Structure 1
């Protein structure tokens, strides 16, 4: 028997079929269109996303659908996927990287709302979260908001399509709806955002026992087989990299650089002196929560450099970077290129990228090296903001960027942590498989499931010869940011 795992990313839907040992039997990919606008809006057609999922699942199971015993699902998080009472889309989905609510977030920061909410949710609000998006839509599209019955996330939308069950996983609901002190969605927290009149749009929580539901949609698979909703992608990818114990850290090198540490639920409530930053996710899984720093800087910065330098692909960036020495002969890149600025480990909607230290002695190789190092300094910045964790443990790397051995080594050198890379090509889907294996009783818990199903590829230790260099360069990175970015 096999399991199909769906990883619904922002720009790519992947369906992966696994055998009982966790071996990949097939992978199907379907691109999805992200519509961006000059004013910072970022949207997707919800019907197109669902159609891409169905097409990918049908393709990966073609001729062998009867062997499929379950479907597991993880998806992009945040945003606002509005549906009416019939479960139909009200308007296109507003995505996690949408910037239309930047002024709302700035007002909340000035009024102390962000700080007060952080003391309860453990998460610093940003413009891509549903509370900020709903605030803007209520003003700009009142008819759409009036027609809405629930503000779902991508995972909730796909779970609804697959099973007919409306709700949201705890990982998706944590920011901004869950009060970590009580573990529930508190009405006065919703009212804190000025959304008391829209409280009915907060979907019901799907608890751990409810994350398994029978398949009701016609997607070419046996009806009634279990559909397992895993936490949203940044959390499920951490699990797929092998991190299942409190203190273990992961960095996802993808569209967002997301550096995260597994914590105990008891540690999810921030202390009175904790600086407001990052996200705290209630995973809805026994004994586990997550402290996450999903930046807006990521592999898009590498793609930008590919275009800027006229290179054929991202691999050419690392080839070029290898021609420059560690430290890039003093060139520093602050990789804050998103129109929405930055959201972790600090919130600065107006943050912009900076290249510093250039002279006639520098060339494209220095810029390539400094870009990879700048992104590595972002990872270190997020690790420093996370709970202490277990610094002697390796930092798990995954995501598309982890395929670059040079970038992985740069991250090891800049952070001072030994890094590991998984042998699995689809880490988010593998994480969904691990969650499904525990939820369906194939393994007694996540740790044993990960131990059996996740395969380590290699480990890269930091080079002691450049340790002092990168410590000094990191301080220069922080000093440069302090001078030009106003958080």
Structure 2
């Protein structure tokens, strides 16, 4: 790959609600950025869907915008994006029905049935992955019973990134990180046929693309080139998906190091050298295969991210820009208000799986302010992060990214609750950065990773708050244990 002063790599992060493109030069400097929203359709009954054509259009919009902002050529296109859900396509890459998001809850009752019948535990023992309603297995099984014609028309059942790749390159593929949940044996990086059979999907096995070798390079075909306004034959890399891409882009490299992504998903990941787990433990989380053989990310992606704060802001009439100020108006402990943050209609998926999980607030009084309610919710999300990192085995340095860490006070709450400093990369496009770093290695021009991630700041914990939040976390665990006995669909 040419890496002269005039050659650039475009990293594209296709998020759930926002598609971002960042152009990097060979020194790791982002020289152009663009973003545009994707439509997320929330339908009755907990259904959440997206339109592939609209999402593909967002990719074209941001790529064309950033490509027009730089002088010189584009050396490659590096893609990452949201994982899970189900993106059904035909052999030409056209959707056979709207994509079903990882946020979708149509398979809630099915997942509860699988939990009661031992299916989730059987799959967990074979793949180290805890299934949840928005994972491909549950959605495929639901469609097999309620909408089999969609599966009949499909040639491939995949994910967001590989759906875009198919339309840009004509290749049917899937990155090993996306394939990690729910059917992949992470140790062998191949599908576990008995896990597929346990979900009743052996007859749909042909819809699963075989995982590509790490750092596989594709090429823009004529249609993809016309869509993006880039040359046909341009190198394209596809993955890893956004969670591991963020870890790579932030600088997670040593076993035990972790990253907190405070986005739509509260994703907590820890790097490890082997997929070891207790097969009789809580069937939740997953081991994500990284681009490096023998390297994995133990991921606990909770459903309690920034969407919870958006909900609170809407309900309380708060501008998102005012969150930081309001958090400062309520002291640790939120005036006695406590919360459980499980607002997703599909419940929770890490560090436990329960489609019936729901939020609650306690300790409210006539003296409770909007700031108290908001702070209680932010503290509860931080407690959920601690719960996830305890399950994932965090022992080393902690990095953080996502929209949530744009709030300095919420980031300090995370540091206080987790009892450790947090390194926040200075460039918010860490997912795109991680995808570009993988692309550079794939094309034989690896960059100086230390230099690429050196622009960061450290948020220190406040010792006077750490002890206070120790008790707060204990109270959170007590409330959670009591609530889990009461939830039902």
With the shorter chain as reference, the TM-score category is: over 0.9
Residue 281 (1) aligns with residue 270 (2): no
Shift of the alpha carbon at 1:402? 0.8
Q: How big is each residue's C-alpha offset from its partner over 1:335-373, in whole Å with a ceiling of 9 and x where there is no partner?
A: 111111111111111111111122233222211221211
Task: Confirm or deny: 8 A CA contact 1:213 1:228 kept in the other structure.
Answer: yes
Q: How big is each residue's C-alpha offset from its partner over 1:446-473, in whole Å with a ceiling of 9 and x where there is no partner?
A: xx74312123421122111122211001
Task: Confirm or deny: 8 A CA contact 1:29 1:56 kept in the other structure.
Answer: yes
Residue 431 (1) aligns with residue 431 (2): no
Task: Confirm or deny: 8 A CA contact 2:337 2:364 kept in the other structure.
Answer: yes
Residue 309 (1) aligns with residue 316 (2): yes
For residues 330 and 195 of structure 2, the distance between their equivalents in structure 1, rounded to whole angstroms, comes to: 51
Counterpart position of 1:69: 75
Q: Within 5 A, what are the aligned runs for 1:27-426?
A: 27-62=33-68, 64=70, 67-209=73-215, 211-216=216-221, 217-218=224-225, 219-264=228-273, 267-311=274-318, 313-387=319-393, 389-390=394-395, 393-426=396-429
Q: How big is each residue's C-alpha offset from its partner over 1:248-303, in whole Å with a ceiling of 9 and x where there is no partner?
A: 11000101111110111xx2142344332211111242332111111111111111
Task: Confirm or deny: 8 A CA contact 2:400 2:424 kept in the other structure.
Answer: yes
Task: Confirm or deny: 8 A CA contact 2:92 2:167 kept in the other structure.
Answer: no
Task: Confirm or deny: 8 A CA contact 1:257 1:296 kept in the other structure.
Answer: yes
SS at match of 2:85: coil
Gaps (5+ residues) in structure 2?
1-6
Counterpart position of 2:4: none
Residue 440 (1) aligns with residue 412 (2): no
Distance 1:63 1:467, change over 3 A: closer
Shift of the alpha carbon at 1:126? 0.7
For residues 433 and 86 of structure 1, the distance between their equivalents in structure 2, rounded to whole angstroms, comes to: 27
Task: Confirm or deny: 8 A CA contact 1:167 1:204 kept in the other structure.
Answer: yes
SS at match of 1:168: coil
Shift of the alpha carbon at 1:181? 4.4
For residues 82 and 50 of structure 2, the distance between their equivalents in structure 1, rounded to whole angstroms, comes to: 12
> Which stretch has the larger CA shift, 276-285 or 12-21?
276-285
Residue 478 (1) aligns with residue 477 (2): yes
For residues 14 and 467 of structure 1, the distance between their equivalents in structure 2, rounded to whole angstroms, comes to: 36
Task: Confirm or deny: 8 A CA contact 2:252 2:258 kept in the other structure.
Answer: yes
For residues 190 and 364 of structure 1, the distance between their equivalents in structure 2, rounded to whole angstroms, comes to: 47
For residues 222 and 466 of structure 1, the distance between their equivalents in structure 2, rounded to whole angstroms, comes to: 55
Q: How big is each residue's C-alpha offset from its partner over 1:33-70, in whole Å with a ceiling of 9 and x where there is no partner?
A: 11111201111111111121112111111265851001
> Which stretch has the larger CA shift, 192-201 or 64-73?
64-73
Shift of the alpha carbon at 1:247? 1.2
SS at match of 2:236: strand
> Which stretch has the larger CA shift, 352-361 or 61-70?
61-70
For residues 338 and 134 of structure 1, the distance between their equivalents in structure 2, rounded to whole angstroms, comes to: 21
For residues 67 and 474 of structure 1, the distance between their equivalents in structure 2, rounded to whole angstroms, comes to: 52
Please provide the CA RMSD for this pair. Answer: 1.6
> Which stretch has the larger CA shift, 287-296 or 361-370?
361-370
For residues 276 and 114 of structure 2, the distance between their equivalents in structure 1, rounded to whole angstroms, comes to: 21
Shift of the alpha carbon at 1:213? 1.4
Shift of the alpha carbon at 1:158? 1.1
SS at match of 1:277: coil
SS at match of 1:70: strand
- Which aligned segments of 4 or more residues in structure 1 are displaced greater than 6 angstroms? none
Task: Confirm or deny: 8 A CA contact 1:65 1:220 kept in the other structure.
Answer: no
For residues 456 and 475 of structure 1, the distance between their equivalents in structure 2, rounded to whole angstroms, comes to: 35
SS at match of 1:244: coil
> Which stretch has the larger CA shift, 452-461 or 294-303?
452-461
TM-score by length of 2: 0.94
For residues 65 and 203 of structure 1, the distance between their equivalents in structure 2, rounded to whole angstroms, comes to: 38
TM-score by length of 1: 0.94
SS at match of 1:132: helix
For residues 43 and 134 of structure 1, the distance between their equivalents in structure 2, rounded to whole angstroms, comes to: 14
